[in-house]
Homo-oligomer: A and B are copies of this chain.
Amino acid sequence: MENEYISTAQIEKLIDEKKVKDIRQLFEVVPTIDIAEALSDIEDTKKIIFVFKTVKSEYTADLFTELKPEIKEDIINLLSNDELADILEQQFTDDLVDDLEELPANIVTRVLRNVPKERRATINKLLNYKEDSAGSIMTTEFGVLLSNLTADEAIAEIRKTGKNKETIYTLFVMDNKRNLVGTLDLDDLIFAKGDQKITEIMNRDFVTVNVNDDQEEVANVVKRYDLNAVAVLNNDGRLIGLVTVDDVMDIIEEETTEDISKMQMVSPLEDSYLETSPLKMAKKCVPWIVVLLILGTFSSMVLSIFEDRIASIAILAAFIPVLMDTGGNAGGQTIALMIRGISLQEFGPKDFWKIMRKESVSAAIIAVCVGIFAFVWFSVEQYFGIVTNSNLGYDASIWIGNCWSQEFLLEVIKVSGLVAGTLTIGMFLSKMIAVLLPMGAAAIKKDPAIVSQPLLTTIVDVTSLLVYFGMASLIFIF
Protein backbone atom coordinates (compact mmCIF):
# COMPACT_ATOMS: atom_id res chain seq x y z
CA MET A 1 0.00 0.00 0.00
CA GLU A 2 1.28 3.43 -1.04
CA ASN A 3 1.27 6.09 1.66
CA GLU A 4 -0.65 9.22 0.61
CA TYR A 5 1.43 12.30 -0.15
CA ILE A 6 0.64 15.96 -0.77
CA SER A 7 2.88 18.61 -2.34
CA THR A 8 2.81 22.37 -1.74
CA ALA A 9 1.74 22.95 -5.35
CA GLN A 10 -1.16 20.50 -5.05
CA ILE A 11 -2.58 22.02 -1.89
CA GLU A 12 -2.04 25.60 -3.14
CA LYS A 13 -4.03 24.75 -6.24
CA LEU A 14 -6.91 23.41 -4.13
CA ILE A 15 -6.88 26.62 -2.07
CA ASP A 16 -6.73 28.91 -5.12
CA GLU A 17 -9.65 27.10 -6.66
CA LYS A 18 -11.50 27.20 -3.33
CA LYS A 19 -12.13 23.45 -3.44
CA VAL A 20 -13.51 23.29 0.08
CA LYS A 21 -14.69 19.71 -0.18
CA ASP A 22 -11.37 18.43 -1.52
CA ILE A 23 -9.43 20.21 1.22
CA ARG A 24 -11.69 18.68 3.87
CA GLN A 25 -11.26 15.28 2.23
CA LEU A 26 -7.48 15.73 2.25
CA PHE A 27 -7.39 15.88 6.04
CA GLU A 28 -9.17 12.52 6.17
CA VAL A 29 -6.55 10.67 4.14
CA VAL A 30 -3.25 12.50 4.67
CA PRO A 31 -1.55 12.83 8.09
CA THR A 32 -1.85 16.39 9.43
CA ILE A 33 1.92 16.79 9.86
CA ASP A 34 2.43 16.16 6.13
CA ILE A 35 -0.20 18.76 5.25
CA ALA A 36 1.41 21.23 7.69
CA GLU A 37 4.74 20.70 5.98
CA ALA A 38 3.26 21.30 2.52
CA LEU A 39 1.46 24.44 3.76
CA SER A 40 4.66 25.81 5.33
CA ASP A 41 6.13 26.61 1.92
CA ILE A 42 3.17 28.73 0.78
CA GLU A 43 4.22 32.39 0.70
CA ASP A 44 0.82 33.97 1.32
CA THR A 45 -0.35 33.26 4.87
CA LYS A 46 -3.93 34.24 3.89
CA LYS A 47 -4.08 31.00 1.93
CA ILE A 48 -3.15 29.05 5.03
CA ILE A 49 -5.84 30.93 6.94
CA PHE A 50 -8.31 29.75 4.31
CA VAL A 51 -7.46 26.17 5.23
CA PHE A 52 -7.98 26.93 8.92
CA LYS A 53 -11.43 28.33 8.19
CA THR A 54 -12.33 25.38 5.98
CA VAL A 55 -11.49 22.25 7.93
CA LYS A 56 -13.10 20.77 11.03
CA SER A 57 -11.98 22.18 14.36
CA GLU A 58 -10.64 18.76 15.40
CA TYR A 59 -7.86 19.22 12.83
CA THR A 60 -7.03 22.91 13.27
CA ALA A 61 -5.30 22.63 16.64
CA ASP A 62 -3.08 19.81 15.35
CA LEU A 63 -2.33 21.69 12.18
CA PHE A 64 -1.47 24.83 14.13
CA THR A 65 0.88 22.89 16.45
CA GLU A 66 2.84 21.48 13.50
CA LEU A 67 3.49 24.83 11.73
CA LYS A 68 6.72 26.86 11.99
CA PRO A 69 6.85 29.70 14.57
CA GLU A 70 6.96 32.48 11.93
CA ILE A 71 3.81 31.16 10.29
CA LYS A 72 2.10 30.75 13.66
CA GLU A 73 2.82 34.40 14.35
CA ASP A 74 1.32 35.51 11.03
CA ILE A 75 -1.73 33.35 11.57
CA ILE A 76 -2.40 34.69 15.04
CA ASN A 77 -2.18 38.20 13.62
CA LEU A 78 -4.71 37.43 10.90
CA LEU A 79 -7.29 35.50 12.94
CA SER A 80 -10.13 37.11 14.84
CA ASN A 81 -10.19 36.67 18.62
CA ASP A 82 -12.99 34.11 18.38
CA GLU A 83 -11.22 32.06 15.76
CA LEU A 84 -8.03 32.17 17.78
CA ALA A 85 -9.82 31.13 20.95
CA ASP A 86 -11.31 28.16 19.07
CA ILE A 87 -7.89 26.85 18.07
CA LEU A 88 -6.35 27.47 21.49
CA GLU A 89 -9.19 25.63 23.19
CA GLN A 90 -8.41 22.51 21.17
CA GLN A 91 -4.65 22.66 21.75
CA PHE A 92 -3.08 20.66 24.58
CA THR A 93 -1.57 22.87 27.24
CA ASP A 94 1.98 21.54 26.77
CA ASP A 95 1.91 22.27 23.03
CA LEU A 96 0.49 25.74 23.71
CA VAL A 97 3.23 26.45 26.24
CA ASP A 98 5.87 25.31 23.74
CA ASP A 99 4.43 27.78 21.22
CA LEU A 100 4.38 30.63 23.70
CA GLU A 101 8.04 30.07 24.49
CA GLU A 102 8.88 30.71 20.84
CA LEU A 103 6.53 33.61 20.02
CA PRO A 104 7.25 37.34 20.54
CA ALA A 105 5.84 39.07 23.63
CA ASN A 106 2.99 40.97 21.94
CA ILE A 107 1.67 37.76 20.40
CA VAL A 108 1.94 35.95 23.72
CA THR A 109 -0.17 38.67 25.35
CA ARG A 110 -2.83 38.31 22.67
CA VAL A 111 -2.88 34.52 23.05
CA LEU A 112 -3.16 34.69 26.82
CA ARG A 113 -6.02 37.16 26.54
CA ASN A 114 -7.90 34.59 24.47
CA VAL A 115 -7.79 31.63 26.86
CA PRO A 116 -10.12 31.27 29.87
CA LYS A 117 -8.83 32.63 33.20
CA GLU A 118 -8.17 29.28 34.93
CA ARG A 119 -6.23 27.97 31.97
CA ARG A 120 -4.19 31.16 31.85
CA ALA A 121 -3.12 30.50 35.44
CA THR A 122 -1.97 26.99 34.48
CA ILE A 123 -0.09 28.27 31.46
CA ASN A 124 1.68 30.96 33.45
CA LYS A 125 2.74 28.35 35.97
CA LEU A 126 4.12 26.04 33.28
CA LEU A 127 5.97 28.95 31.67
CA ASN A 128 7.72 29.59 34.99
CA TYR A 129 9.23 26.12 35.45
CA LYS A 130 12.94 25.93 34.82
CA GLU A 131 13.83 25.24 31.17
CA ASP A 132 14.16 21.53 30.41
CA SER A 133 12.62 20.53 33.76
CA ALA A 134 9.77 18.00 33.99
CA GLY A 135 7.49 20.94 34.85
CA SER A 136 8.29 22.78 31.65
CA ILE A 137 7.42 19.83 29.42
CA MET A 138 4.50 18.23 31.27
CA THR A 139 0.86 18.69 30.44
CA THR A 140 -1.85 19.19 33.03
CA GLU A 141 -4.57 17.33 31.14
CA PHE A 142 -4.32 13.96 32.88
CA GLY A 143 -7.10 11.54 33.74
CA VAL A 144 -7.77 10.82 37.41
CA LEU A 145 -9.94 8.05 38.84
CA LEU A 146 -11.00 7.62 42.46
CA SER A 147 -9.84 4.37 43.99
CA ASN A 148 -13.32 3.25 45.11
CA LEU A 149 -14.57 2.83 41.52
CA THR A 150 -15.29 -0.47 39.78
CA ALA A 151 -14.06 -1.17 36.25
CA ASP A 152 -17.44 -0.33 34.69
CA GLU A 153 -17.73 2.88 36.69
CA ALA A 154 -14.20 3.81 35.66
CA ILE A 155 -14.96 3.30 31.97
CA ALA A 156 -18.11 5.39 32.32
CA GLU A 157 -16.09 8.11 34.04
CA ILE A 158 -13.45 8.06 31.29
CA ARG A 159 -16.13 8.32 28.60
CA LYS A 160 -17.57 11.34 30.41
CA THR A 161 -14.40 13.25 31.26
CA GLY A 162 -11.58 11.75 29.23
CA LYS A 163 -12.13 13.41 25.88
CA ASN A 164 -9.90 16.42 26.43
CA LYS A 165 -7.14 14.51 28.21
CA GLU A 166 -3.71 14.13 26.63
CA THR A 167 -3.93 10.35 27.05
CA ILE A 168 -6.39 7.88 28.54
CA TYR A 169 -4.06 4.92 28.10
CA THR A 170 -2.46 5.64 31.45
CA LEU A 171 -4.84 6.78 34.18
CA PHE A 172 -3.97 7.85 37.71
CA VAL A 173 -5.78 6.39 40.68
CA MET A 174 -6.20 8.55 43.81
CA ASP A 175 -7.53 7.72 47.25
CA ASN A 176 -10.00 10.05 48.95
CA LYS A 177 -7.13 12.11 50.40
CA ARG A 178 -6.05 12.78 46.80
CA ASN A 179 -2.86 10.78 47.17
CA LEU A 180 -1.68 8.94 44.07
CA VAL A 181 -2.00 5.24 44.92
CA GLY A 182 -1.60 3.58 41.53
CA THR A 183 -1.60 3.84 37.77
CA LEU A 184 -4.14 2.06 35.64
CA ASP A 185 -3.50 0.93 32.06
CA LEU A 186 -6.56 1.23 29.89
CA ASP A 187 -6.03 -2.26 28.49
CA ASP A 188 -6.18 -3.81 31.96
CA LEU A 189 -9.42 -1.92 32.52
CA ILE A 190 -10.85 -3.25 29.26
CA PHE A 191 -9.99 -6.83 30.19
CA ALA A 192 -11.27 -6.53 33.78
CA LYS A 193 -14.66 -7.82 34.95
CA GLY A 194 -17.21 -5.02 35.14
CA ASP A 195 -17.66 -5.18 38.92
CA GLN A 196 -13.97 -5.56 39.73
CA LYS A 197 -12.50 -2.78 41.90
CA ILE A 198 -9.88 -0.79 40.05
CA THR A 199 -7.58 -1.06 43.07
CA GLU A 200 -7.31 -4.77 42.20
CA ILE A 201 -6.15 -4.18 38.64
CA MET A 202 -4.08 -1.01 38.97
CA ASN A 203 -0.27 -1.07 39.09
CA ARG A 204 1.14 -0.43 42.53
CA ASP A 205 4.70 -0.68 41.23
CA PHE A 206 4.50 2.59 39.31
CA VAL A 207 7.33 5.10 39.10
CA THR A 208 7.03 8.87 39.13
CA VAL A 209 9.23 11.89 38.47
CA ASN A 210 9.58 15.16 40.35
CA VAL A 211 8.55 18.44 38.73
CA ASN A 212 12.12 19.74 39.03
CA ASP A 213 13.78 16.66 37.50
CA ASP A 214 15.68 17.29 34.30
CA GLN A 215 13.88 16.23 31.11
CA GLU A 216 16.69 13.76 30.40
CA GLU A 217 15.83 11.99 33.67
CA VAL A 218 12.14 11.91 32.65
CA ALA A 219 13.11 10.38 29.30
CA ASN A 220 15.26 7.75 30.99
CA VAL A 221 12.39 6.70 33.29
CA VAL A 222 9.85 6.41 30.46
CA LYS A 223 12.34 4.43 28.36
CA ARG A 224 13.50 2.13 31.13
CA TYR A 225 10.01 1.18 32.29
CA ASP A 226 8.42 1.19 28.80
CA LEU A 227 5.78 3.65 29.96
CA ASN A 228 3.08 5.29 27.90
CA ALA A 229 3.08 8.26 30.29
CA VAL A 230 4.73 9.11 33.60
CA ALA A 231 3.22 11.04 36.52
CA VAL A 232 4.89 14.30 37.57
CA LEU A 233 4.69 15.08 41.30
CA ASN A 234 5.41 18.33 43.08
CA ASN A 235 7.66 18.52 46.15
CA ASP A 236 4.71 17.62 48.41
CA GLY A 237 4.17 14.41 46.47
CA ARG A 238 0.96 15.64 44.79
CA LEU A 239 0.18 14.72 41.19
CA ILE A 240 0.38 17.87 39.06
CA GLY A 241 1.00 16.66 35.52
CA LEU A 242 2.09 13.97 33.12
CA VAL A 243 4.61 13.51 30.33
CA THR A 244 3.70 11.19 27.43
CA VAL A 245 5.94 8.93 25.40
CA ASP A 246 5.69 10.99 22.19
CA ASP A 247 7.03 14.04 24.01
CA VAL A 248 9.77 11.84 25.41
CA MET A 249 10.85 10.85 21.90
CA ASP A 250 11.27 14.52 21.02
CA ILE A 251 13.28 15.04 24.21
CA ILE A 252 15.58 12.11 23.41
CA GLU A 253 16.17 13.49 19.93
CA GLU A 254 16.91 16.96 21.29
CA GLU A 255 19.23 15.70 24.04
CA THR A 256 21.14 13.43 21.67
CA THR A 257 21.63 16.20 19.14
CA GLU A 258 22.95 18.34 22.00
CA ASP A 259 25.37 15.62 23.10
CA ILE A 260 26.68 15.11 19.58
CA SER A 261 27.07 18.84 19.00
CA LYS A 262 28.97 19.35 22.23
CA MET A 263 31.16 16.32 21.58
CA GLN A 264 32.20 17.87 18.28
CA MET A 265 32.41 21.31 19.86
CA VAL A 266 29.46 23.16 18.39
CA SER A 267 27.13 24.92 20.81
CA PRO A 268 23.70 23.28 20.30
CA LEU A 269 21.52 25.05 17.72
CA GLU A 270 18.12 26.26 18.92
CA ASP A 271 16.47 25.59 15.57
CA SER A 272 17.05 22.94 12.96
CA TYR A 273 20.16 23.26 10.82
CA LEU A 274 18.26 24.47 7.77
CA GLU A 275 16.54 27.21 9.76
CA THR A 276 19.72 28.53 11.37
CA SER A 277 21.28 31.54 9.60
CA PRO A 278 24.97 31.40 8.61
CA LEU A 279 25.76 34.21 11.08
CA LYS A 280 24.09 32.36 13.94
CA MET A 281 25.92 29.20 12.89
CA ALA A 282 29.22 31.08 13.04
CA LYS A 283 28.37 32.23 16.58
CA LYS A 284 27.84 28.60 17.60
CA CYS A 285 31.15 27.46 16.08
CA VAL A 286 33.64 30.27 16.66
CA PRO A 287 33.93 30.20 20.48
CA TRP A 288 35.08 26.58 20.48
CA ILE A 289 37.62 27.08 17.72
CA VAL A 290 39.03 30.08 19.58
CA VAL A 291 39.27 28.09 22.82
CA LEU A 292 41.18 25.37 21.02
CA LEU A 293 43.40 27.96 19.35
CA ILE A 294 44.30 29.54 22.68
CA LEU A 295 44.89 26.15 24.27
CA GLY A 296 47.07 25.35 21.25
CA THR A 297 49.52 27.92 22.61
CA PHE A 298 50.83 25.24 24.94
CA SER A 299 51.90 22.94 22.14
CA SER A 300 53.48 25.87 20.28
CA MET A 301 55.38 26.73 23.47
CA VAL A 302 56.73 23.23 23.82
CA LEU A 303 57.79 23.12 20.18
CA SER A 304 59.45 26.53 20.31
CA ILE A 305 61.52 25.34 23.28
CA PHE A 306 62.82 22.49 21.14
CA GLU A 307 63.39 24.71 18.11
CA ASP A 308 67.16 23.98 18.04
CA ARG A 309 66.58 20.26 18.04
CA ILE A 310 64.05 20.50 15.23
CA ALA A 311 66.54 22.59 13.25
CA SER A 312 69.23 19.93 13.65
CA ILE A 313 67.01 16.86 13.04
CA ALA A 314 64.19 18.20 10.89
CA ILE A 315 62.79 14.72 10.18
CA LEU A 316 61.33 14.85 13.70
CA ALA A 317 58.81 17.48 12.55
CA ALA A 318 57.54 15.19 9.80
CA PHE A 319 55.86 12.93 12.35
CA ILE A 320 54.22 15.63 14.47
CA PRO A 321 50.84 15.54 12.65
CA VAL A 322 50.57 11.76 12.87
CA LEU A 323 51.42 11.88 16.58
CA MET A 324 48.77 14.54 17.24
CA ASP A 325 46.07 12.88 15.12
CA THR A 326 46.58 9.36 16.44
CA GLY A 327 46.71 10.45 20.07
CA GLY A 328 43.62 12.62 19.75
CA ASN A 329 41.79 9.92 17.83
CA ALA A 330 42.51 7.20 20.40
CA GLY A 331 41.19 9.41 23.19
CA GLY A 332 38.22 10.51 21.10
CA GLN A 333 37.09 6.89 20.81
CA THR A 334 37.07 6.48 24.58
CA ILE A 335 35.38 9.86 25.11
CA ALA A 336 32.56 8.82 22.77
CA LEU A 337 31.98 5.61 24.74
CA MET A 338 32.13 7.44 28.08
CA ILE A 339 29.75 10.24 27.15
CA ARG A 340 27.23 7.86 25.63
CA GLY A 341 27.40 5.51 28.62
CA ILE A 342 26.96 8.34 31.11
CA SER A 343 24.10 9.87 29.16
CA LEU A 344 22.27 6.51 28.90
CA GLN A 345 22.94 5.99 32.63
CA GLU A 346 24.73 2.74 31.83
CA PHE A 347 27.44 3.80 34.25
CA GLY A 348 28.53 6.85 36.23
CA PRO A 349 31.27 8.26 38.44
CA LYS A 350 30.62 5.51 41.01
CA ASP A 351 31.94 2.97 38.48
CA PHE A 352 35.14 4.96 37.97
CA TRP A 353 37.64 2.35 39.16
CA LYS A 354 35.85 -0.50 37.41
CA ILE A 355 36.04 1.42 34.14
CA MET A 356 39.62 2.56 34.73
CA ARG A 357 40.70 -1.06 35.20
CA LYS A 358 38.85 -2.17 32.09
CA GLU A 359 39.98 0.75 29.96
CA SER A 360 43.62 0.54 31.07
CA VAL A 361 43.77 -3.09 29.90
CA SER A 362 42.21 -2.33 26.54
CA ALA A 363 44.28 0.88 26.18
CA ALA A 364 47.45 -1.12 26.82
CA ILE A 365 46.48 -3.73 24.21
CA ILE A 366 45.63 -1.02 21.69
CA ALA A 367 48.75 1.06 22.39
CA VAL A 368 51.12 -1.92 22.11
CA CYS A 369 49.49 -3.37 18.97
CA VAL A 370 49.37 -0.05 17.17
CA GLY A 371 52.88 0.77 18.47
CA ILE A 372 54.35 -2.38 16.94
CA PHE A 373 52.53 -1.79 13.68
CA ALA A 374 53.66 1.85 13.67
CA PHE A 375 57.30 0.87 14.19
CA VAL A 376 57.21 -1.40 11.15
CA TRP A 377 55.24 1.10 9.09
CA PHE A 378 57.48 4.08 9.88
CA SER A 379 60.55 1.97 9.09
CA VAL A 380 59.08 1.04 5.73
CA GLU A 381 58.24 4.69 5.07
CA GLN A 382 61.84 5.74 5.63
CA TYR A 383 63.50 2.71 4.12
CA PHE A 384 61.75 3.23 0.81
CA GLY A 385 62.15 6.98 0.98
CA ILE A 386 58.39 7.63 1.15
CA VAL A 387 59.32 9.90 4.00
CA THR A 388 62.85 11.10 3.31
CA ASN A 389 65.22 11.53 6.19
CA SER A 390 67.94 13.90 4.99
CA ASN A 391 70.35 12.41 7.53
CA LEU A 392 70.23 9.24 5.44
CA GLY A 393 72.01 8.93 2.14
CA TYR A 394 69.14 8.02 -0.18
CA ASP A 395 70.17 6.96 -3.62
CA ALA A 396 68.83 4.70 -6.32
CA SER A 397 70.59 1.67 -4.86
CA ILE A 398 68.30 1.66 -1.84
CA TRP A 399 65.31 1.13 -4.04
CA ILE A 400 66.56 -2.17 -5.29
CA GLY A 401 67.53 -3.09 -1.77
CA ASN A 402 71.25 -3.76 -2.05
CA CYS A 403 72.35 -0.94 0.24
CA TRP A 404 72.01 -2.10 3.84
CA SER A 405 74.59 0.05 5.55
CA GLN A 406 74.50 -0.46 9.30
CA GLU A 407 74.44 3.27 9.84
CA PHE A 408 71.38 3.64 7.60
CA LEU A 409 69.50 0.90 9.42
CA LEU A 410 70.39 2.25 12.82
CA GLU A 411 69.12 5.70 11.89
CA VAL A 412 65.85 4.27 10.57
CA ILE A 413 65.37 2.20 13.71
CA LYS A 414 66.13 5.16 15.95
CA VAL A 415 63.57 7.43 14.27
CA SER A 416 60.88 4.74 13.98
CA GLY A 417 61.46 3.64 17.55
CA LEU A 418 61.18 7.20 18.78
CA VAL A 419 57.95 7.94 16.90
CA ALA A 420 56.33 4.58 17.61
CA GLY A 421 57.35 4.77 21.27
CA THR A 422 55.86 8.24 21.66
CA LEU A 423 52.73 7.05 19.87
CA THR A 424 52.35 4.10 22.25
CA ILE A 425 52.70 6.26 25.35
CA GLY A 426 50.50 8.97 23.82
CA MET A 427 47.66 6.59 22.98
CA PHE A 428 47.67 4.98 26.39
CA LEU A 429 47.74 8.33 28.18
CA SER A 430 45.09 9.73 25.87
CA LYS A 431 42.67 6.91 26.64
CA MET A 432 43.23 7.26 30.39
CA ILE A 433 42.61 11.01 30.26
CA ALA A 434 39.54 10.32 28.12
CA VAL A 435 38.06 8.33 31.04
CA LEU A 436 39.15 10.85 33.65
CA LEU A 437 37.74 14.01 32.06
CA PRO A 438 34.10 13.00 31.43
CA MET A 439 33.93 11.05 34.69
CA GLY A 440 35.33 14.02 36.57
CA ALA A 441 32.85 16.34 34.92
CA ALA A 442 29.94 14.01 35.77
CA ALA A 443 31.17 13.71 39.37
CA ILE A 444 30.98 17.47 39.88
CA LYS A 445 27.61 17.52 38.02
CA LYS A 446 29.00 19.26 34.94
CA ASP A 447 28.08 18.20 31.43
CA PRO A 448 30.65 15.56 30.41
CA ALA A 449 30.24 16.34 26.71
CA ILE A 450 31.24 19.96 26.90
CA VAL A 451 34.54 19.96 28.79
CA SER A 452 36.15 16.87 27.39
CA GLN A 453 37.26 17.29 23.80
CA PRO A 454 39.26 20.56 23.90
CA LEU A 455 40.98 19.66 27.16
CA LEU A 456 41.81 16.18 25.89
CA THR A 457 43.33 17.53 22.67
CA THR A 458 45.48 20.02 24.55
CA ILE A 459 46.71 17.66 27.24
CA VAL A 460 47.48 14.90 24.75
CA ASP A 461 49.24 17.25 22.32
CA VAL A 462 51.44 18.77 24.99
CA THR A 463 52.29 15.47 26.69
CA SER A 464 53.06 13.75 23.40
CA LEU A 465 55.38 16.56 22.34
CA LEU A 466 57.19 16.55 25.68
CA VAL A 467 57.64 12.78 25.53
CA TYR A 468 58.70 12.99 21.90
CA PHE A 469 61.44 15.55 22.35
CA GLY A 470 62.43 14.23 25.75
CA MET A 471 63.07 10.80 24.23
CA ALA A 472 64.70 12.39 21.17
CA SER A 473 67.20 14.11 23.48
CA LEU A 474 68.15 10.74 24.94
CA ILE A 475 68.36 8.89 21.65
CA PHE A 476 70.12 11.47 19.53
CA ILE A 477 72.05 13.27 22.30
CA PHE A 478 71.77 16.85 21.17
A465 within 8 A of B: yes
Chain B positions within 8 Å of A470 at CB level: none
A424 vs chain B, min Cβ distance (A)? 11
Is A451 engaged at the interface, CB distance under 8 Å to the other chain? no
- Chain B hits for A162, CB < 8 A: 187, 190-191
What residue of chain B has the Cβ atom nearest to residue A207's Cβ? B3
> Which residues from chain B contact A206 at a C-beta distance below 8 Å?
31
Cα distance A347–B272 when bound, in Å? 10
Contact A265:B332 (CB < 8 A) given known A33-B225, A307-B390:
yes
Contact A304 B388 (CB under 8 A): yes
The distance in angstroms between the C-alpha atoms of A317 and B312, with both chains bound, is 13
Q: Is A14 an interface residue (CB 8 A)?
A: no
Chain B contacts for A114, CB-based, 8 A: none
Q: Which of B293, B311, B332 contacts A264 (CB 8 A)?
A: B332
Given contacts A205-B4, A318-B307, A374-B293, contact A336 B272 (CB under 8 A): no
- Name A251-278 residues within 8 Å CB distance of B: 252-253, 256-257, 259-261, 263-266, 269, 272-274, 278
Bound form: Cα–Cα A315–B225 in Å: 59
Q: Which of B1, B29, B340 contacts A257 (CB 8 A)?
A: B340
Cβ–Cβ contact B320 & A314, under 8 A:
no
Closest approach, in angstroms, between the C-beta of A268 and any C-beta of chain B? 10
Chain B residues, Cβ within 8 Å of A423: 293
Interface centre among A224, A289, A361 (most CB of B within 10 A): A289
A233 an interface residue at 8 Å Cβ cutoff?
Answer: yes
Q: Is B207 a contact of A31 with CB atoms below 8 Å?
A: yes
> Could you mark each residue 292-313 of chain A with 1 if its beta carbon is under 8 Å from any beta carbon of chain B, else 0?
1110110111011101101110
Q: How large is the interface on A (under 10, 10 to 19, 20 to 34, 35 or more residues)?
A: 35 or more
Q: Choose among B257, B362, B465 the residue that contacts A321 (Cβ–Cβ < 8 A).
A: B465
Residues of B within 8 A of A304 (CB): 315, 318, 387-389
Q: Kindly state whether residue A281 has any CB partner on chain B within 8 Å.
A: yes
A168 partner, pick from B187, B279, B290, beta carbons under 8 A: B187
User: In the bound complex, what is the Cα–Cα distance between A339 and B260 (angstroms)?
Assistant: 10
Beta-carbon contact of B300 and A310 below 8 Å: no
Of A82-90, A116-124, A323-331, the one with at least 4 CB within 8 A of chain B: A323-331
Cβ–Cβ contact B290 & A373, under 8 A: yes
Is A184 part of the binding interface, using a Cβ–Cβ cutoff of 8 Å? no
Would you call B288 and A333 a contact (CB within 8 A)? yes
Does B318 contact A362, Cβ atoms closer than 8 Å?
A: no
Q: Is the CB of B265 within 8 A of A293?
A: no
Q: Do B341 and A265 touch across chains, with their CB atoms under 8 A apart?
A: no
**Nearest CB to that of A30 among chain B residues?**
B205
Find A337's partner among B273, B290, B359 (CB 8 Å cutoff): B273
With A224-B33, A264-B335 as known contacts, state yes or no: A387 contacts B273, CB within 8 Å: no
List 13 contacting pairs A-B, 8 Å CB cutoff, sorted by A: A27-B205, A31-B205, A163-B191, A226-B246, A226-B249, A278-B365, A282-B366, A286-B366, A292-B326, A297-B322, A303-B321, A304-B387, A317-B317
Minimum-distance CB pairs A-B, first 3: A296-B322, A264-B336, A278-B362
